[in-house]
Chain A
Amino acid sequence: MRAEREAGVALLLALVVLVALGMVSLTALTLARTESLAGRAAVARVQARGAAEAALALARLGWPASSTPGQPGAEISLASVTVPGPADGQAKLRNLGGSLYALEASGVRHSAGGLPLASIRLELLVLLGAPDSNSIVHPSIYPRGWRLLP
């Protein structure tokens, strides 16, 4: 009896089509995820910036004179804010010697899992005058004192 031989291309064709469709789907998914991440990163940077600027604005309102760091290089935390996102903003005051101080604000946008998605730091050089009647120190901006920190 002659052996039966049922050769065909259906299985091969189906496999090829499935692989091609799978690759297209996978690429589409990857691209969609990449676009989504890039968009979220852009929004996160804006939120981090907002948090840093909010903290800096709060710090510029002033602080008790007794809190002012006395030694050059010493620093204190002045303001802490959380803005929708959520993004956290922190502002610190650092003594740079004499009447020169640096207000440094940082903003970080966290993911739901607590991982940092974006961060930014700003610095404002300020001068301190005499405290007001409530012993609050109000900083004045040093000329050319604003800059982005790396």
Chain B
Amino acid sequence: MSLRPRGISLVELLVALSLTGVLAVLTAGVLAKGTLELRDRSEHAAREQSLRMAGGALRAALESLGQDSASGPDLLTQAATGFTARATRVAGVLCSASPGLLVARADTAFWRALRSPVPGRDSILAARQDRSAWRVYGLLAASSGTACPDGSGGIALPVVADSLALVGIGPGSPIRVFENVELRLYSSAPDLWIGLRLLNTAQAIQPFAGPMVANGLTLSYQKSDGTPAFFPGDVAAVALRLEAFTERAGGIGLVRGSLSLPDSLALFVALGNPP
């Protein structure tokens, strides 16, 4: 039987504790640095995604705009930090038009809808058969199924229109069901966001990208010859600049100063249906 005493001396214990402490400090430092770098990268990825989404949404909203002498421009108002415009929700073709009622072909070859028309919120653009202009009609009641004069399926759209208002509108007229929307930079303290508001509803503006820096959305409107356009009916293209920063306030994890790195995105959007 061994008589060698077992256990550890005080010196050994102190050495072991010291080494453990040094290792723990080194490891904690590496982990903390890695965590912060990961957080930065995550925030940068979110910022890039926010910029891409805002750019895509603004581009999609502007691209389809048009105008004519009867119904005016789809771009309703223009400003340096936003705009209001008609946003198409449904496209179709009429099979008949009578006072108070438009009937569109229901077949999916003709009727392309993001959603069903909503009275009070949506209006209808219908083109004259001579293609000289489009006209605007308010949607009076919800759409319903009906039949076209040729017996095929139709969609009844009750509208505010007498026979005079329907001159030139009839079978074969393309239509667009639209609603007015606003896209702009707005403040929701303490940050700035790009938001969308449905103008014919009581809904408050809803953020869809951000946070943005001050003046993080700037739009400049151009005519087809490249000179500045000061009226919506003259706009043929829009130059956009978006600038967002990484979201730090209210984030999850370690709070480290007030670092917020900006990045920007520039777009030039030509209207698909220019003046």
Contacts and interface: CB of A to CB of B under 8 A. Distances in A.
B6 A9 contact: no
A77 B171 CA distance: 25
Given A24-B34, A73-B110, A146-B273, A42 B66 contact: no
A57 B110 CA distance: 22
B31 A143 contact: no
Contacts of A21: 31
Interface in A87-140: 94, 96-98, 100, 123, 125, 127
Interface in A14-68: 17, 20-21, 24, 27-28, 31, 34-35, 38-39, 42, 45
Nearest to B129: A98
Contact of A97 (B74, B93, B131): B93
A103 to B, nearest CB: 13
Contact of A148 (B6, B27, B63): B63
Contact of B38 (A17, A28, A38, A147): A28
Contacts of B31: 20-21, 24
B127 A144 contact: yes
Q: Is the interface of B mostly helix, strand, loop or mixed?
A: mixed
A127 B272 CA distance: 17
Interface of A: 1, 4, 9, 13, 17, 20-21, 24, 27-28, 31, 34-35, 38-39, 42, 45, 72-73, 75, 94, 96-98, 100, 123, 125, 127, 142-150
Given A34-B45, A100-B174, A149-B112, 9 more contacts: A38-B49, A38-B52, A96-B109, A98-B171, A100-B172, A143-B133, A144-B66, A144-B67, A144-B127
